[in-house]
Amino acid sequence: MRTRLSLFFGIFVVMALSNAIVPVLPTYAGSSAIQGAIYSAYFLGAFVSTLPAGILSDRYGRVPVIRIGLAITIASGLLLSVLVSPALVIVTRIIEGVGAGFFVAAAMSYVNALPDHEKMSGYFMALLNAGLVIGLLIAGWLATPLQNPAAGIMIFAGLSLIPAVAGFFIHETSTVSRQGNLKTILYLLQEFRWLWYSSVILIGITGVVTSLYPKYSGYSPDSVGNWISLMSIATIAGVLVASRLSLPPVPAIRWSAFLMLIAVLVSYYSPLGFVMLGICAGVIMIAQMTFLAQVRDHQGVAMGLFSTASYLGMAALPFITGIIADTTGFFYAFCLTALFALTVFLTIGTGECHLQKVASGSRLKKQ
């Protein structure tokens, strides 16, 4: 029970807190550029911290890193609930992202090392997406009646105390490794290069559609918010179903990439493509985690690289396609995004041939 509170409720409140500021961004800054900076600052913090957190998890254990991540989350959440200066809010959002990066990398490593990791990773990723949806909705609902834009932030910062306290009563599931992690990182980067590429592209595509749709569709903000929430709900369904089907990872990623290509094109004509994208993203994340679960002795590094690649995709692809949309039009931006998905379909599985050596740790232990 204590482990589930720390890991599963933890990922829920960490993600809810990360999105709680989104509906009330205009109260923190009038400029769209500064609002964008406040929003992006979180992803910057998460991007730079997930790999170091994975390394620390392998060296010193996952539990201490989980505790540090939750402590940073609580502190940054409380600060965000009282700060008004845009510059300080941006800095605090970066710190919040660092806390999330520490927690996510270590918690995913912990979950993926469990005997029933496939089912547990399904619950974990489902609650991650549920947190994103609930944080968005609750913060928006509370801001107006309570006349306090930070009400949602305060609530989720307070709720973060529950998994933080529970984190002091959980224990490691396996021994830690004190081997040289630089060689481990370089080896895994090379061996599974197309898996990391698939994470950058396929997770990044969800960010592309989310970022393009508000301006492209012309829908009201509440309608856009509903469709974005529906994509996260579809992702929840995707991870829960995929985690119980025991799909072969590489074919699951390949064909989900192909379906995501179709979903992107559908999204150009109808927001129903959001549902297809969400389901595909859920299947892809479970397949990627299942594949990496076989890297038994280096789960911290593997999950750190996985999280880093995902955050890189969310940061880079929306930026690239946004430039395309501004210069050549939305049609070409959607076509480029679909082309990105096609490249994953054509390349995934290239580094699979040496999986058993990595899974057994034989090659890495020699290093």
Paired tokens of 152:
């949602």
CATH number, domain with residue 348: 1.20.1250.20
Our measurement of the distance from residue 31's CA atom to the centroid of its chain's CA atoms, rounded to an integer in Å, reads 27
Q: Read off φ and ψ for residue 61, nearest 5 degrees.
A: 105, 150
The span from the CA of 122 to the CA of 80, in Å, is 31
Fill in the amino acid letter for 63.
V
Place of tokens 């979950």: 111
Indicate whether 80 and 200 sit together in one domain.
no
237: exposed, middle or buried (Cβ count in 10 Å: 0-12, 13-18, 19+): middle
- 24 and 63 in a common domain: yes
Specify if 173 maps to a domain: no
- Percent of the chain at pLDDT > 90 equals 34
pLDDT tens, residue by residue, 119-140:
888 888 899 989 988 988 888 8
Residues 162 and 194 in one domain: no
The pLDDT score that the predictor gives to residue 176 is 56
Whether 301 and 153 share a structural domain: no
Query: In terms of domains, do 120 and 187 share one?
Result: no
Domain that holds residue 148: 1-168
Among 175-189, 203-217, 257-271, the range with the most confident prediction by mean pLDDT is 257-271
Q: SS3 of 351, please?
A: coil
The backbone region for 50, taken as left when phi is positive above 0, alpha when psi lies in -120 to 50, beta otherwise, is alpha
- Cα separation, 98 vs 49, in Å, equals 5
- Please report whether residue 174 resides in a domain: no
The answer to whether the CB of 110 falls within 8 A of the CB of 66 is yes
Q: Are residues 52 and 117 in the same domain?
A: yes
Evaluate whether 136 touches 19 at the Cβ level (below 8 Å).
Answer: yes
* Residue 341 belongs to some domain of the structure: yes
pLDDT exceeds cutoff 50 at 357: no
Q: Which of 86-95, 142-151, 297-306: highest mean pLDDT?
A: 86-95
* 67/201 same-domain check: no
Q: What is the pLDDT of residue 110?
A: 86
Please write the tens of the pLDDT for every residue from 6-23. 889 999 999 999 988 888
